[in-house]
Structure 1
Amino acid sequence: MAITASMVKELRESTGAGMMDAKKALTETDGDMDAAVDWLRTKGLAKAAKKAGRTAAEGLVGVAVKDGKGVAVEINSETDFVAKNAEFQALVKSFTEAALGVDDVEALKAADVGGKTVEAALTDAVAKIGEHMSLRRMAVVEGESIAAYVHNAAADGMGKIGVLVALKGADNGIGKQIAMHIAATNPASLGEADLDPALVEREKQVLTEQARESGKPDAVIEKMIVGRMKKFFEEVTLLGQKFVINPDVTVAEAAKEAGVEIIGFVRMGVGEGIEKKEEDFAAEVAKTLAG
């Protein structure tokens, strides 16, 4: 497979590796981006095992809480200008409130807002505002107490990142602190048991290869892997992470001290996982003029 400059650039941005190292990694793995990241990590040349988190879609995430239920809803738009539009924000607010009465995004599309379905209201808004918009997803958490937090808020209850935390027990203010922690650290799961097995296996393989590069005996390597996997779980699980507000304790310990138990969370960021086609600005202008 031909290795392009854009592939090298993407790998460099996602790992912090040098240009020649990134090119060699892609060559060694026949252009497989994930495998190239692992190759770099095995050689100690990458900063982290993550894909380039290219957030391309614009829009807003709305959050709402009522009677032990919290919902987060993402509505996308083509430009950030629309996300700042009062009509669009009113749309997000109405959709988010409607989500409190349903359990998934398909049911939300059929829910009533002002005498019409959410889907019909969105279609009308597209025609009126003149820009493509979509209801992408929603998530639900339930608990005795629900805390919500919006980062980069555009209006009350909506912004670029929405977080919900479900607690067992009465929230005395710790819920919002934990939600802010989640917004900052983006944990992969609540606890070790909730982690994607494929993610765990991939990490174990990378750490095993790293340990073998040291040339140490197998018995020592096994202990190294156990220790490094423990550190990995502490870094990527919410309950195992050091609490950003008090790094002397874990999030689980902070919750216990506050008399609550964290039973679930949602962190939803606008455009996560959506790749935007990058086009040369001059070419875009020329295309417009030609049309």
Structure 2
Amino acid sequence: MNAFGGTRMKGYAIPQEVKRYVAHDMIQAHTKLPSFANERIALLYAFLKRNEDNQQFTERMAAVTLLVQLGIDTHNTVEYATSSTSDRNMRSRQLKVLAGDYFSSRFYQMLAEAGQIEAIQLLSRAVCEVNRLKMTVAASVRDGSMNHSRYYEHAVKIKQCLFHAFNEWLNRADVELYEQLLDLISEREVIQEELENVKQHAVDSHSWTYWLVMEHASSAQRSRWQHEAIVQQEWDELLSQCRPEVILQERMKSVEERLSIVLGTIVSDTQSSLVESIVSELAI
């Protein structure tokens, strides 16, 4: 029996198990799914596993959280495609909508079959919080109050939401360390994604880079871009002026230093063994 049926897996293999639920020929042939949230899942799994009361369903909780996150991320790619030049293929977008719904709904089935009603409630509330934050971002964009700092803050919070769902199931002594690591890992993921956006010279309003560049654009440019597509040459010139990659690299260095500091403060023998078990997964 696999991890979701109750028998414990040998070692950490949540992503490999979840791949069985997303390996559909139609999806693979016509669309590309987002990457798994491997670092956040490895962290959640490691901390849940430390609570003896969770031993029999640690794998299931981590797996369903990964599926829900994949569903959210898949839906995001459809939302973002409507305002960018990428992924205009209608079939791909329709499949992404269906795939996102499927991944998100699987967690209801898996938890209901296991009688984990409380877990359904916890994850459902977390999904509501994700949607609330996304609506807050959208409202800030509409009313003109969005800026690069605010976007960055919300991007990190959105990545954290699902992974706060099971805080009350962790050992009480571990919660502070878990939240510190989750904050830093989530921020590191945002930075990695933004560095890729810069590398691709992507003009995407769903990115920190976009809002940084907008703050360097002239009022005439911002006014014109409300009605016209952004000219790539203008965009590239602004990128060279504000140099987002330099800012991001500095932030990445800061995050890595803070990770080292947090891990270096561990004095408990039991927490030291925990850190050793997750450091390799997180490539710290």
Q: Fold-level match, TM-score > 0.5?
A: no
Structure 1 length-normalised TM = 0.25
Q: Counting helix residues as a fraction of each chain, which structure ranks higher?
A: 2
Q: Counting strand residues as a fraction of each chain, which structure ranks higher?
A: 1
Structure 2 length-normalised TM = 0.25
Larger radius of gyration: 1
